[in-house]
A and B are shown apart, each in its own frame.
Chain A
Amino acid sequence: MAASISGYTFSSVCYHSANTNSDHEGFLLGEVRQEETLSISDSHIGSSEFVSVIEVHNHEPCAQLFSFYDYAGNVNEENLNRILKDRRKNVIGWYRFRRNTQQQMSFREQVIHKQLTNILGIPDLVFLLFSFISTANSSTHALEYVLFRPNRNYNQRISLSIPNLGNTSQQEYKVSSVPNTSKNYAGVIKEHGNEFFDKDGVMKDIRAIFQVYSALQERVQAVCCEVDQSERVREKIQEEVNKLKEEIALRKRNRAEEERRLQEAAAVPLPDNSALPDSSQSSPTQVVLSGPSVEPSVERPVNSSSPPIYSTTLPPDSPSAILLPRPQAVGSPGHPSPSLGLGNGDGSSSDSLNRQATGQEDGDDEDSSEYENLVSEQLQPPSLTETVTLGRPATLWPDGDAHSPPGS
């Protein structure tokens, strides 16, 4: 159980008490609410804790001692009602102020408390004890207060907090849930409230903000739906593209197979260097191949200028000009061995295949590499000198013709 008392109530009680020349007592008004705290930690999935919180909103001082009980501590209910009037239902406890005494409930206080518990019908009636201790020379005075829960075992003591009694610059300023019972305040709010509150008592600004918030939420929801739809379309298109790529790759493989057969059958010697196609006709890095035709990817850029014609026949080769090995991982099926004399024609060897097509997507690379691997496998066994470097696959124009990528 926890308890809190508003600063103004606490100071009011202290003021009343300190200004009396004897012990002082009265009743505490407020409410008891239940708080549930859910906590999630690494060790627990989640745990909830119920705490009863006593909130003291106000107090009702007694004019004098023994105002509602007699010498034996018997409570007079009639006098009690006269003191509390219509606030009896708000009573949550009572308090006592005594100077220079121990912080312990006295004999009479315990007797009275038991009776108040029964008469008021509050099982957890609390008792707040104020003790004012002064030193012998009156130089130091201390106000101590303890909140008791006498109906529990061992006169349980509850910690009493005063919200915002501290350095609020370093801790959060807490807004109390104490209702404002001031009549003046209620009157002013009633008079000027229409400018700020709507008919339900809610501040207008809050409602407007809430409307904005709701609109934003709706918009976000709509955008989510749009994104979801577009993502689905994209996914579908991606599937189609993948299918087409597979088809292209299959066709390429078939064509390559076919050309290989033709080649074997014809056994046509490879052309010399002078018979190499003009660079103006094709990409310097590419060699027109005979045999497997290259099925370019549909993602090829369409703005290539005068793409070279894709030839199905192998041009007369110059080993050094033609044999441009593709960069492949060591151990890959189509990896050309540098000792086989492959080179660029000037004695240097190139183990990289220029890939300078713009706008080419990664999928193309994969497709190209599959194609390249396949082609290099086919080319290697017959003759090392006949190894043909694979150029970039020609772009398949929308009209169906194959063109090699420009400027490559």
Chain B
Amino acid sequence: MNSLSPEVALSRISPELRPLLCSVVCNGRVGLDSSSCLRITDLKSGCTSLMPGPCCDRFKLHIPYAGETLKWDIIFNAKDPELPPDFIFGEDADFLPEPSELPHLVSWDTGKPECLLQLVKELLQQYHQYQCQRLRDSSRLLFEYGSLLEDPNYGRSMEIYAGRKNSWTGEFSARFLLKLPVDFSNIPVYLLKDTALDPGEDVALLSVSFEDDEATQVFPKLYLSPSIEHALGGSSALHIPAFPSGGCLIDYVPQVCQLLTNKVQYVIQGYHKRREYIAAFLSHFGMGVVEYDAVGFTKLTLLLMWKDFCFLVHVDLPLYFPRDQPTLTFQSIYHFTSSGQLYSQVQKSYPYSPRWDGNEMAKRAKAYFKSFIPQFQEGAFATGKL
């Protein structure tokens, strides 16, 4: 089923119910995975077909939860918009929340646009309790849950979905979705500045699926906000370790958390190191600096002269600098290749150590330039065309 865009949904809903729905489709973020808003499908009406529209008053709400998508039917009555809605909890027919623990239902106020959204959040809390209780069918998984619950780092930000028992094999499965307590605040802003990619909170979620209650088939997966993923170098740059056989979540989750934290630290350190590097080059080469990346400090271009031979040096600093060595591209300003490009040579192997500070790197780079330029000049004259 295709979800309706917020605009379409709002245009079809009964006018009295529009504020409630607006709060859900525009601002509705619930649960750990708040990267996208709640979705609405199957907008229908409880009025007769003779009733002129817009008069839709019931719909299906898609709620992300623990890696699943809950599909709850929400039923209003357009004729009586002041009345609270009713719910059908899809496949979870056994889920019966306690009405007295739903304050926004007991004191339903259709005049408050966020009432429905708050009610959905309260229902989700009870739904979480309901799923946790279902873990009692497996002592192993109950232990996993209990051990995580005790840890304040993970216990408060956890969603659990206990799957249906397989009627053939009797297997019981469950999925744990945890929000990893990793600090992304120090990630350079320029890496996170693309708000179109990630309009929400920066978050890292670890999903661990137990396909059997003896934890012999465990499949972990790391989900990152798009900007975080971009800042850390893309999905290919991150590989979490496999779940160890016989291991448990209370040991594995901190391990993944530390790995991610280290990655973030690398990125942060790299930024600062790059900035230091550029600063040092600026200091050493002064007027020789043509341009440099003043935001991300990833590029630097120098115009140098050796024995009346002028050349450009382009320095590209990688994301995981200083672990990864910068690339030096020497370019002649006189000579062209057969394709019409300026003659250039790329050097990736030169004396380098990540332990040097920026100053030392600048000095060593200068020395290298002096040693390499005669060779470069010779090549330019030999190969290039004026």
Question: Using a CB–CB distance below 8 Å, which chain A residues touch chain B?
Answer: 18, 21-23, 64-66, 71-74, 98-102, 104-111, 134, 138, 141, 155
Contacts and interface: CB of A to CB of B under 8 A. Distances in A.
Interface in B221-279: none
Contacts of B80: 22, 64-65
Nearest to B108: A71
B58 A107 contact: no
A109 B86 contact: yes
A109 B83 CA distance: 15
A106 B95 CA distance: 10
Given A106-B75, A107-B86, A107-B88, 4 more contacts: A21-B79, A72-B105, A99-B48, A105-B88
B78 interface: yes
A21 B97 contact: no
A21 B47 CA distance: 5
A138 B52 CA distance: 13
B46 A99 contact: yes
Contacts of A109: 86
B302 to A, nearest CB: 67
A101 B79 contact: no
Shortest 5 CB-CB contacts between residues of A and residues of B: A100-B44, A22-B79, A72-B99, A22-B77, A138-B49
A98 B93 contact: no
Contact of B46 (A72, A98, A111): A98
A105 B45 CA distance: 18
B73 interface: yes
B102 interface: yes
A141 B107 CA distance: 36
Given A22-B79, A71-B106, A107 B97 contact: yes
Contacts of B100: 72
Interface string B130-141: 000000000000
B287 interface: no
B108 to A, nearest CB: 5
A111 B96 contact: yes
Interface string B141-169: 00000000000000000000000000000
Interface in B41-69: 44-49, 51, 58
Interface in B96-126: 96-97, 99-100, 102, 105-108
Contacts of B372: none
B20 to A, nearest CB: 15
A111 B51 CA distance: 31
Interface in B3-52: 44-49, 51
A116 to B, nearest CB: 15
Contacts of B73: 101-102, 106
A102 to B, nearest CB: 6
Contact of B49 (A101, A105, A134): A134
A104 B90 CA distance: 9
Given A106-B75, A107-B88, A99 B97 contact: no
9 contacts: A21-B51, A71-B83, A71-B84, A72-B106, A99-B46, A107-B88, A107-B97, A108-B86, A134-B49
Contacts of B86: 106-109
Q: Which of A21, A64, A155 has the most CB of B within 10 A?
A: A21
Contacts of A106: 73, 75, 86-88
Contacts of B48: 18, 21, 99
A106 B88 CA distance: 5
Given A21-B48, A22-B78, A98-B46, A73 B87 contact: no
B79 A104 contact: no
A102 B84 CA distance: 19
Contact of B77 (A23, A73, A104): A23
Given A22-B77, A98-B46, A104-B93, A111 B88 contact: no
A73 B84 CA distance: 11
Contact of B75 (A64, A98, A134): A98
B376 interface: no
Given A71-B105, A106-B75, A109-B86, A100 B58 contact: yes
Q: Which of B48, B73, B89, B96 has the most CB of A within 10 A?
A: B48
A105 B86 CA distance: 10
B88 A155 contact: no
A73 B49 CA distance: 29
B77 A101 contact: no
Contact of A111 (B45, B49, B77, B99): B99
A53 B261 CA distance: 67
Contacts of A105: 88
Given A100-B58, A107-B86, A107-B87, A65 B77 contact: yes
A9 to B, nearest CB: 22
Contacts of A21: 47-48, 51, 78-79
Contacts of B97: 107
Contact of A107 (B46, B79, B96): B96
B47 A99 contact: yes
Contacts of A64: 80
Contacts of A110: 96
B89 A107 contact: yes
A65 B75 contact: no
A107 B47 CA distance: 21
A190 to B, nearest CB: 42
B83 A65 contact: yes
Q: Which of A71, A105, A155 has the most CB of B within 10 A?
A: A71
Nearest to B47: A21
Contacts of A108: 86-87
A66 B46 CA distance: 16
A101 B75 contact: yes
Contact of A100 (B45, B51, B93): B45
A108 B7 CA distance: 30
Contacts of A138: 49
B106 to A, nearest CB: 5
A46 to B, nearest CB: 37
Nearest to A18: B48
A72 B97 CA distance: 11
B102 A72 contact: yes
A102 B88 contact: yes
Nearest to B75: A101
Contact of B88 (A22, A74, A99, A101): A101
A18 B99 CA distance: 30
Contacts of A73: 99
A101 B84 contact: no
B87 A23 contact: no
A18 B79 CA distance: 14
A102 B58 CA distance: 11
B119 to A, nearest CB: 11
Contacts of B46: 22-23, 98-101
